[in-house]
Amino acid sequence: MGTVRQITFQSDPQGGAFFPGLAKPVVIDPASLDGEEAAHLQTLVEEARFFEQPREVGTPRPGAADYRCEMLTIDDGATTHTVRALIPIADPGLKALFDAVGAHVRAIRAAARR
C-alpha cells in the first residue's frame, strides 16, 4: 500500500431524513494537513486494513427502516477502494478510521459555514 493521496467521505442515510448538505461528498487531501495529522490518518488506514475490507460492511437488523451508512473512498496512487459501512461499525480499526475522517469532515463543514 502506498501513501494515501485522497480520502472522500460521504454520508448515505437509508430511509431517514435526507439532508443534501450532509450527503454531499467531502474530499480530504492529506497533503493539506499538518504532518502529524496526515501520518495519523495513514496509520489508521493501515491498521484498519482498509484496502482489504469488503465494499459493504455491516447489515441492517431485520425490519430496520432507518439506518445510516457512511462511505470512504481512499486513493493511494496505485489503488482506489471504497467501503460503505453501516453505522455503528463493529470492527474497531475501521471504526477508528471512520471516526477520525468524520472529525476532519465536521471541521471542514464548520469552516465552510463561517
What is the average per-residue pLDDT within 21-41? Answer: 91
Following DSSP, what letter does each residue of 56-101 receive, concatenated? EE--PPTT---EEEEEEEEE-SS-EEEEEEESSP--HHHHHHHHHH
Structure confidence by residue, pLDDT tens digits, 79-96? 999 999 998 899 999 999
What the block records as the C-alpha cell of 77 is 496512487
Domain spans, the chain:
6-58+67-113
Higher pLDDT among residues 77 and 17, named by residue: 77
